[in-house]
Amino acid sequence: MTRRYIPEDVKEQIVTLSTQIRERKTVARLLDVSPRTVSRVLRLARTTGKVVRKPEVAGRRRILGEEHVRFLGECVEVYPDITLAELRVELRDTCDVDVSIATILRTMQRSGFARKKLMPQSMHCGGTAGHDYLTDLWERYEPDQLVFVDASALAGQDATKPDATSAHVQSCVPRSAYYIREQRYSVTPAISLDGILHSDIRDQPHSIATFRHFIQETIDRMNSYPAANSVLIMENADIHLDAELRAIAEARGVLFECFPFSSDKSPMHSAFSAVGAQLIASYPDISRPNAEGKVDDPLTIMQDCVRTAITPVKVESWYHSCREL
């Protein structure tokens, strides 16, 4: 049976006229509706106080329930750099629920998580070039000679704003950890088997001048080749290819290596994942006041997290893992 759409204002008139006219057929005739429609509207008005039955949640029922959301959150807590594709596999294997990556993304965003797309290797001088280059590099040098440098940005908006977006390499992380008062922070550590050789955290991206200064300070802490900490290694990003950086290194007897992107063979990927996890664990909401009622300096907080997350023991394990890949 096909039902005719009755506008909400007409249904309200049914209720109003019914208080003045007792005959439902008369009300139906005046408003050009059926007597059954009058009866249904009056019954709904008596039971709910409304003339239109509206669902509590619009749209179809969601596939992922609260237990699935909790499971995804636990996965992110254990593996902060887990990807959406990996979350899909975990959900399918553990909960026997197979959904699309888009469904998982929307679910994570509703739960206060955010993500950033994985940069294709082809956009970083591509393919397996970085992997092959670093494989050769690990064979040519001793681990204690290598000093890795890279920068990562923590960026975004206040944690209370629902439209903030970002994360680390297509991973999902709690927004409160990476979104700090609409401010972008650049974290640049230099790591070796000694742990953190040097680090810099600033509230804006590096310029060539500031990065050159950072490299100069890093080289001042290094030794001439072939001693320990004597080979400086970075990705071949444009800012890393500054000719003066190579000149500064060569003047101190430090070897300077730039390689195409390869996250699996570089320990910096593990280092930044560790920093993110430490930040999440230690400071679930950076913008909240501390016990003394004051908001801690984000730069100081992140510096503490970097120092705690990147230790000589951890760097040694990252170096070992990269050499074995």
Summarised one tens digit per residue, pLDDT across range 132-170 is 777 888 888 999 999 999 887 654 333 333 333 333 333
CATH topology of domain 121-324: Nucleotidyltransferase; domain 5 (3.30.420)
Report the percent of the chain where pLDDT is more than 70: 74
In terms of phi and psi (left: phi > 0; alpha: psi -120 to 50; beta: otherwise), the region of 59 is left
Give the three-state DSSP class for 232: strand
Tens digit of pLDDT for each residue in 210-267?
A: 888 999 999 999 999 999 999 999 887 777 777 888 888 888 899 988 877 655 678 8
| Residue boundaries of the structural domains of the chain | 8-48, 66-111, 121-324
List phi, psi (to 5°) of 23: -75, 115
Q: Are 144 and 316 a contacting pair, CB within 8 Å?
A: no
Output the six-digit token pair for 249. 């290194």
Tens digit of pLDDT for each residue in 96-123?
A: 889 988 888 888 888 877 655 544 443 3
Please state, in angstroms and rounded to a whole number, the distance separating the CA atoms of residues 172 and 67. 18
Beta strands 173-174; 113-114: pairing state:
antiparallel
Sign of CA dihedral 219, 149, 184, 275: negative
Q: Write down the pTM of the prediction.
A: 0.54
At CA 260, angle to CA 80 and CA 247, rounded to 5? Answer: 115
